[in-house]
Protein backbone atom coordinates (compact mmCIF):
# COMPACT_ATOMS: atom_id res chain seq x y z
CA UNK A 1 0.00 0.00 0.00
CA UNK A 2 1.13 3.51 -0.75
CA UNK A 3 1.96 5.60 2.29
CA UNK A 4 -1.26 7.07 3.75
CA UNK A 5 -2.25 9.13 6.73
CA UNK A 6 -3.96 7.48 9.68
CA UNK A 7 -6.82 6.91 9.85
CA UNK A 8 -7.31 6.26 6.16
CA UNK A 9 -10.24 8.32 4.93
CA UNK A 10 -12.45 6.47 2.47
CA UNK A 11 -15.34 7.96 0.48
CA UNK A 12 -17.78 5.46 -1.03
CA UNK A 13 -20.36 6.67 -3.53
CA UNK A 14 -23.23 4.18 -3.60
CA UNK A 15 -26.21 5.17 -5.73
CA UNK A 16 -29.82 4.34 -5.02
CA UNK A 17 -31.40 1.17 -6.41
CA UNK A 18 -34.39 1.33 -8.74
CA UNK A 19 -37.12 -1.20 -8.09
CA UNK A 20 -37.19 -4.49 -6.22
CA UNK A 21 -36.42 -5.19 -2.60
CA UNK A 22 -32.73 -4.33 -2.80
CA UNK A 23 -32.63 -0.93 -1.14
CA UNK A 24 -29.65 1.36 -0.73
CA UNK A 25 -29.76 0.62 3.01
CA UNK A 26 -29.26 -3.08 2.29
CA UNK A 27 -26.34 -2.28 0.01
CA UNK A 28 -24.74 -0.15 2.71
CA UNK A 29 -25.19 -3.02 5.19
CA UNK A 30 -23.17 -5.23 2.82
CA UNK A 31 -20.43 -2.61 2.60
CA UNK A 32 -20.26 -2.25 6.37
CA UNK A 33 -20.14 -5.98 7.00
CA UNK A 34 -17.41 -6.52 4.42
CA UNK A 35 -15.27 -3.63 5.70
CA UNK A 36 -15.73 -4.47 9.38
CA UNK A 37 -12.48 -6.46 9.21
CA UNK A 38 -10.61 -3.17 8.76
CA UNK A 39 -11.76 -0.85 11.53
CA UNK A 40 -8.77 1.38 10.73
CA UNK A 41 -10.62 2.62 7.65
CA UNK A 42 -12.58 5.81 8.29
CA UNK A 43 -15.43 5.23 5.82
CA UNK A 44 -18.04 7.79 4.77
CA UNK A 45 -20.94 6.84 2.50
CA UNK A 46 -22.50 9.13 -0.08
CA UNK A 47 -25.21 8.78 -2.70
CA UNK A 48 -24.63 9.06 -6.41
CA UNK A 49 -21.75 11.43 -7.08
CA UNK A 50 -22.89 14.93 -8.02
CA UNK A 51 -20.71 16.49 -10.68
CA UNK A 52 -21.26 20.00 -9.32
CA UNK A 53 -20.11 18.91 -5.86
CA UNK A 54 -17.41 16.41 -6.79
CA UNK A 55 -14.51 18.35 -5.27
CA UNK A 56 -16.36 18.96 -2.03
CA UNK A 57 -17.46 15.33 -1.74
CA UNK A 58 -14.02 13.86 -2.46
CA UNK A 59 -12.41 16.39 -0.13
CA UNK A 60 -9.30 15.15 1.65
CA UNK A 61 -9.99 11.45 1.07
CA UNK A 62 -7.19 8.93 0.75
CA UNK A 63 -9.43 6.48 -1.14
CA UNK A 64 -12.49 7.01 -3.31
CA UNK A 65 -14.79 4.26 -4.56
CA UNK A 66 -17.50 4.85 -7.14
CA UNK A 67 -15.83 7.80 -8.84
CA UNK A 68 -17.32 8.67 -12.23
CA UNK A 69 -15.16 7.49 -15.12
CA UNK A 70 -16.42 9.93 -17.76
CA UNK A 71 -13.86 11.94 -19.75
CA UNK A 72 -12.41 15.00 -18.08
CA UNK A 73 -12.79 13.88 -14.46
CA UNK A 74 -9.63 12.05 -13.40
CA UNK A 75 -7.23 14.70 -14.66
CA UNK A 76 -4.04 16.26 -13.38
CA UNK A 77 -6.05 19.26 -12.20
CA UNK A 78 -8.46 17.04 -10.27
CA UNK A 79 -5.58 15.16 -8.65
CA UNK A 80 -3.87 18.46 -7.80
CA UNK A 81 -7.01 19.48 -5.92
CA UNK A 82 -7.00 16.19 -3.97
CA UNK A 83 -3.36 15.52 -3.09
CA UNK A 84 -4.16 12.89 -0.45
CA UNK A 85 -5.68 10.44 -2.95
CA UNK A 86 -3.85 7.12 -3.05
CA UNK A 87 -6.60 4.79 -4.20
CA UNK A 88 -9.35 5.24 -6.81
CA UNK A 89 -11.88 2.56 -7.71
CA UNK A 90 -14.77 2.42 -10.16
CA UNK A 91 -17.84 0.33 -9.40
CA UNK A 92 -18.04 -0.78 -13.02
CA UNK A 93 -16.20 -2.77 -15.66
CA UNK A 94 -15.32 0.37 -17.57
CA UNK A 95 -11.96 2.04 -17.16
CA UNK A 96 -13.06 5.37 -18.54
CA UNK A 97 -10.83 8.18 -19.70
CA UNK A 98 -8.21 9.14 -17.15
CA UNK A 99 -4.72 10.60 -16.93
CA UNK A 100 -2.79 7.34 -16.86
CA UNK A 101 0.65 8.94 -16.63
CA UNK A 102 -0.36 11.22 -13.76
CA UNK A 103 -1.94 8.31 -11.86
CA UNK A 104 1.28 6.34 -12.29
CA UNK A 105 3.54 9.26 -11.37
CA UNK A 106 1.70 9.86 -8.12
CA UNK A 107 1.68 6.17 -7.18
CA UNK A 108 -2.11 6.01 -7.08
CA UNK A 109 -3.71 2.57 -7.32
CA UNK A 110 -6.63 2.51 -9.76
CA UNK A 111 -9.01 -0.48 -9.88
CA UNK A 112 -12.21 -1.50 -11.63
CA UNK A 113 -14.89 -3.98 -10.63
CA UNK A 114 -15.60 -6.88 -12.96
CA UNK A 115 -18.94 -7.87 -11.45
CA UNK A 116 -21.53 -7.84 -14.21
CA UNK A 117 -20.02 -9.95 -16.98
CA UNK A 118 -22.74 -12.62 -16.83
CA UNK A 119 -25.46 -10.01 -16.36
CA UNK A 120 -24.41 -7.81 -19.29
CA UNK A 121 -23.87 -10.79 -21.59
CA UNK A 122 -27.33 -12.09 -20.64
CA UNK A 123 -28.83 -8.71 -21.51
CA UNK A 124 -27.05 -8.67 -24.86
CA UNK A 125 -28.41 -12.14 -25.57
CA UNK A 126 -31.90 -11.04 -24.47
CA UNK A 127 -31.76 -8.16 -26.96
CA UNK A 128 -30.65 -10.55 -29.68
CA UNK A 129 -33.43 -13.04 -28.93
CA UNK A 130 -36.03 -10.27 -28.86
CA UNK A 131 -34.91 -9.08 -32.28
CA UNK A 132 -34.99 -12.65 -33.59
CA UNK A 133 -38.43 -13.63 -32.31
CA UNK A 134 -40.34 -10.54 -31.08
CA UNK A 135 -42.17 -12.54 -28.43
CA UNK A 136 -43.86 -9.49 -26.84
CA UNK A 137 -45.39 -8.38 -30.15
CA UNK A 138 -46.89 -11.82 -30.78
CA UNK A 139 -48.04 -12.11 -27.17
CA UNK A 140 -49.88 -8.78 -27.37
CA UNK A 141 -51.42 -9.71 -30.73
CA UNK A 142 -52.70 -13.08 -29.50
CA UNK A 143 -53.99 -11.80 -26.16
CA UNK A 144 -55.67 -8.67 -27.44
CA UNK A 145 -55.60 -7.59 -31.09
CA UNK A 146 -56.50 -10.85 -32.81
CA UNK A 147 -59.88 -10.99 -31.10
CA UNK A 148 -61.01 -7.70 -32.61
CA UNK A 149 -61.20 -9.44 -36.02
CA UNK A 150 -63.90 -12.13 -36.06
CA UNK A 151 -62.55 -15.53 -37.05
CA UNK A 152 -58.95 -14.34 -37.30
CA UNK A 153 -57.75 -16.80 -34.67
CA UNK A 154 -58.90 -19.73 -36.85
CA UNK A 155 -57.14 -18.60 -40.01
CA UNK A 156 -53.83 -20.22 -39.19
CA UNK A 157 -50.57 -19.16 -37.58
CA UNK A 158 -50.08 -15.41 -37.48
CA UNK A 159 -46.44 -14.46 -37.98
CA UNK A 160 -46.19 -10.71 -37.57
CA UNK A 161 -42.41 -10.38 -37.85
CA UNK A 162 -39.58 -12.30 -39.45
CA UNK A 163 -38.42 -15.20 -37.28
CA UNK A 164 -34.63 -15.69 -37.20
CA UNK A 165 -33.01 -18.94 -36.06
CA UNK A 166 -29.61 -18.60 -34.40
CA UNK A 167 -28.58 -22.26 -34.75
CA UNK A 168 -25.78 -22.60 -37.29
CA UNK A 169 -25.35 -18.85 -37.72
CA UNK A 170 -22.05 -17.04 -37.10
CA UNK A 171 -21.75 -14.51 -34.29
CA UNK A 172 -18.83 -12.09 -34.33
CA UNK A 173 -17.83 -10.75 -30.94
CA UNK A 174 -15.82 -7.54 -30.83
CA UNK A 175 -13.89 -7.49 -27.57
CA UNK A 176 -13.10 -10.79 -25.89
CA UNK A 177 -12.85 -9.63 -22.31
CA UNK A 178 -14.93 -11.10 -19.51
CA UNK A 179 -18.27 -9.91 -20.97
CA UNK A 180 -17.43 -10.88 -24.53
CA UNK A 181 -16.31 -14.31 -23.38
CA UNK A 182 -19.59 -14.86 -21.50
CA UNK A 183 -21.49 -13.85 -24.61
CA UNK A 184 -19.45 -16.33 -26.63
CA UNK A 185 -20.34 -19.16 -24.23
CA UNK A 186 -24.05 -18.28 -24.42
CA UNK A 187 -23.96 -18.08 -28.22
CA UNK A 188 -22.24 -21.48 -28.42
CA UNK A 189 -25.10 -22.86 -26.32
CA UNK A 190 -27.49 -21.83 -29.09
CA UNK A 191 -25.40 -23.74 -31.62
CA UNK A 192 -23.80 -20.68 -33.14
CA UNK A 193 -20.35 -20.55 -34.73
CA UNK A 194 -18.34 -18.08 -32.61
CA UNK A 195 -15.65 -15.85 -34.06
CA UNK A 196 -14.08 -12.91 -32.25
CA UNK A 197 -11.79 -9.94 -32.66
CA UNK A 198 -9.83 -8.48 -29.75
CA UNK A 199 -6.89 -6.11 -29.51
CA UNK A 200 -4.83 -8.89 -27.95
CA UNK A 201 -5.24 -12.54 -28.84
CA UNK A 202 -6.64 -14.57 -25.96
CA UNK A 203 -4.80 -17.75 -25.03
CA UNK A 204 -5.89 -20.73 -22.98
CA UNK A 205 -8.06 -23.81 -23.28
CA UNK A 206 -11.28 -21.96 -22.43
CA UNK A 207 -10.99 -20.00 -25.69
CA UNK A 208 -10.55 -23.11 -27.86
CA UNK A 209 -14.13 -22.99 -29.23
CA UNK A 210 -13.68 -19.41 -30.43
CA UNK A 211 -12.04 -18.66 -33.77
CA UNK A 212 -10.07 -15.45 -33.32
CA UNK A 213 -9.95 -13.38 -36.51
CA UNK A 214 -9.19 -9.91 -37.80
CA UNK A 215 -11.85 -7.22 -37.56
CA UNK A 216 -12.24 -7.20 -41.34
CA UNK A 217 -12.88 -10.95 -41.43
CA UNK A 218 -15.35 -10.66 -38.56
CA UNK A 219 -17.31 -7.96 -40.41
CA UNK A 220 -17.42 -10.06 -43.57
CA UNK A 221 -18.47 -13.35 -42.00
CA UNK A 222 -20.84 -12.53 -39.16
CA UNK A 223 -24.62 -12.94 -39.22
CA UNK A 224 -24.72 -11.29 -35.80
CA UNK A 225 -22.19 -8.80 -34.39
CA UNK A 226 -22.06 -8.10 -30.65
CA UNK A 227 -19.84 -5.31 -29.31
CA UNK A 228 -18.09 -5.77 -25.94
CA UNK A 229 -14.88 -3.74 -26.26
CA UNK A 230 -13.90 -0.66 -24.23
CA UNK A 231 -14.19 2.82 -25.68
CA UNK A 232 -10.74 4.04 -26.68
CA UNK A 233 -9.51 6.44 -29.33
CA UNK A 234 -8.95 3.37 -31.52
CA UNK A 235 -12.49 2.02 -31.05
CA UNK A 236 -14.33 5.35 -31.28
CA UNK A 237 -16.55 5.20 -34.41
CA UNK A 238 -15.12 1.77 -35.18
CA UNK A 239 -18.47 0.85 -36.69
CA UNK A 240 -18.75 3.56 -39.34
CA UNK A 241 -20.11 3.58 -42.88
CA UNK A 242 -17.03 1.81 -44.23
CA UNK A 243 -17.23 -0.95 -41.61
CA UNK A 244 -20.95 -1.38 -42.23
CA UNK A 245 -20.34 -1.68 -45.98
CA UNK A 246 -18.09 -4.68 -45.26
CA UNK A 247 -20.80 -6.47 -43.27
CA UNK A 248 -23.18 -9.10 -44.61
CA UNK A 249 -26.51 -7.80 -45.86
CA UNK A 250 -29.13 -8.26 -43.13
CA UNK A 251 -26.69 -8.55 -40.22
CA UNK A 252 -27.98 -7.99 -36.67
CA UNK A 253 -25.94 -5.59 -34.51
CA UNK A 254 -25.88 -5.59 -30.69
CA UNK A 255 -24.09 -2.98 -28.56
CA UNK A 256 -23.95 -3.08 -24.75
CA UNK A 257 -20.50 -1.46 -24.54
CA UNK A 258 -20.35 2.28 -25.31
CA UNK A 259 -22.44 4.31 -27.74
CA UNK A 260 -19.51 6.18 -29.24
CA UNK A 261 -18.10 2.97 -30.74
CA UNK A 262 -20.78 3.32 -33.44
CA UNK A 263 -21.28 6.17 -35.89
CA UNK A 264 -25.00 6.62 -35.27
CA UNK A 265 -25.69 8.45 -38.54
CA UNK A 266 -24.16 5.57 -40.49
CA UNK A 267 -26.12 3.07 -38.38
CA UNK A 268 -29.42 4.83 -39.05
CA UNK A 269 -28.75 4.84 -42.78
CA UNK A 270 -27.97 1.12 -42.64
CA UNK A 271 -31.12 0.36 -40.63
CA UNK A 272 -33.28 2.37 -43.01
CA UNK A 273 -31.84 0.54 -46.03
CA UNK A 274 -32.01 -2.84 -44.21
CA UNK A 275 -28.27 -3.37 -44.76
CA UNK A 276 -28.43 -3.95 -41.01
CA UNK A 277 -31.70 -5.77 -40.41
CA UNK A 278 -31.94 -4.89 -36.72
CA UNK A 279 -29.97 -3.37 -33.87
CA UNK A 280 -30.14 -3.80 -30.10
CA UNK A 281 -28.56 -0.88 -28.25
CA UNK A 282 -28.27 -0.50 -24.50
CA UNK A 283 -25.92 2.45 -25.06
CA UNK A 284 -26.04 5.49 -27.33
CA UNK A 285 -23.88 8.55 -27.87
CA UNK A 286 -24.09 11.46 -25.47
CA UNK A 287 -25.62 9.71 -22.48
CA UNK A 288 -27.58 10.87 -20.58
CA UNK A 289 -29.78 12.14 -23.40
CA UNK A 290 -31.74 15.38 -23.37
CA UNK A 291 -34.34 14.07 -25.82
CA UNK A 292 -35.09 11.47 -28.52
CA UNK A 293 -32.47 10.69 -31.14
CA UNK A 294 -32.99 9.74 -34.82
CA UNK A 295 -32.27 6.05 -34.16
CA UNK A 296 -35.43 5.91 -32.06
CA UNK A 297 -37.44 6.43 -35.25
CA UNK A 298 -36.28 3.04 -36.55
CA UNK A 299 -38.79 0.25 -35.87
CA UNK A 300 -36.08 -2.37 -36.28
CA UNK A 301 -34.25 -1.32 -33.10
CA UNK A 302 -34.42 -2.03 -29.40
CA UNK A 303 -32.91 0.87 -27.43
CA UNK A 304 -32.66 0.92 -23.64
CA UNK A 305 -31.16 3.31 -21.12
CA UNK A 306 -27.81 1.68 -20.27
CA UNK A 307 -29.33 -0.82 -17.83
CA UNK A 308 -27.63 -4.08 -18.85
CA UNK A 309 -25.59 -4.16 -15.64
CA UNK A 310 -28.43 -3.42 -13.23
CA UNK A 311 -29.48 -6.72 -11.68
CA UNK A 312 -29.52 -7.01 -7.87
CA UNK A 313 -27.07 -9.90 -8.12
CA UNK A 314 -24.57 -7.81 -10.05
CA UNK A 315 -24.91 -4.86 -7.67
CA UNK A 316 -24.21 -7.07 -4.66
CA UNK A 317 -21.30 -8.73 -6.44
CA UNK A 318 -19.86 -5.30 -7.29
CA UNK A 319 -19.81 -4.32 -3.63
CA UNK A 320 -18.24 -7.60 -2.57
CA UNK A 321 -15.49 -7.30 -5.19
CA UNK A 322 -14.88 -3.60 -4.56
CA UNK A 323 -14.69 -4.13 -0.81
CA UNK A 324 -12.21 -6.98 -1.27
CA UNK A 325 -10.15 -4.79 -3.60
CA UNK A 326 -10.04 -2.00 -1.01
CA UNK A 327 -9.05 -4.40 1.77
CA UNK A 328 -6.38 -6.00 -0.38
CA UNK A 329 -4.95 -2.59 -1.25
CA UNK A 330 -4.91 -1.64 2.43
CA UNK A 331 -3.06 -4.84 3.27
CA UNK A 332 -0.50 -4.21 0.54
CA UNK A 333 -1.66 -6.81 -1.99
CA UNK A 334 -3.83 -4.82 -4.43
CA UNK A 335 -6.12 -6.66 -6.82
CA UNK A 336 -8.02 -5.70 -10.02
CA UNK A 337 -5.41 -3.01 -10.67
CA UNK A 338 -5.61 -1.12 -13.97
CA UNK A 339 -2.08 -0.65 -15.30
* Catalytic residue list: 258, 287, 306
Which three-class secondary structure state does DSSP give residue 91? coil
Phi-psi region of 118 (alpha: psi -120 to 50; beta: other; left: phi over 0): alpha
At 196, which helix (H) or strand (E)?
Answer: strand 193-197
* CB-count burial class (<10 Å; 0-12, 13-18, 19+) for 276: buried
Task: Give the N- to C-terminal CA distance of the chain in Å, as an integer.
Answer: 15
Count the helices and strands in the chain (H runs, E runs).
Answer: 11, 12
Nearest-angstrom CA–CA distance, 281 and 294: 13
Q: How far is CA 296 from the centre of its chain?
A: 20
Nearest-angstrom CA–CA distance, 304 and 124: 11
**What sign for the dihedral angle of Cα 299, 163, 182, 309?**
positive
- Give me the helices (H) in the chain, please: 24-35, 54-58, 76-81, 100-105, 117-133, 135-143, 178-189, 215-221, 241-245, 264-273, 312-330
Nearest-angstrom CA–CA distance, 9 and 45: 11
Compute, in degrees rounded to 10, the torsion defined by CA atoms 298, 301, 307, 309: -150
Q: CA 41, 74, 29 angle in degrees (round to 5)?
A: 35
Amino acid sequence: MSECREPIKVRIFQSDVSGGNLTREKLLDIWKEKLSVCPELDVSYYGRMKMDDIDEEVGDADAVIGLFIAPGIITKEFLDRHPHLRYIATLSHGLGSYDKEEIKRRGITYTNTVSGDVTIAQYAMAMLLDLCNNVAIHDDFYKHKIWSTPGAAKNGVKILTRQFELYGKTIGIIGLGSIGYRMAVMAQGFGMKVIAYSRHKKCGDKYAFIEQVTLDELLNRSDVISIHCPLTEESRNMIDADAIARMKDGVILINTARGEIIDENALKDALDSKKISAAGLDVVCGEPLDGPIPLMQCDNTRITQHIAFATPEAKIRAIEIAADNLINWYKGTPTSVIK
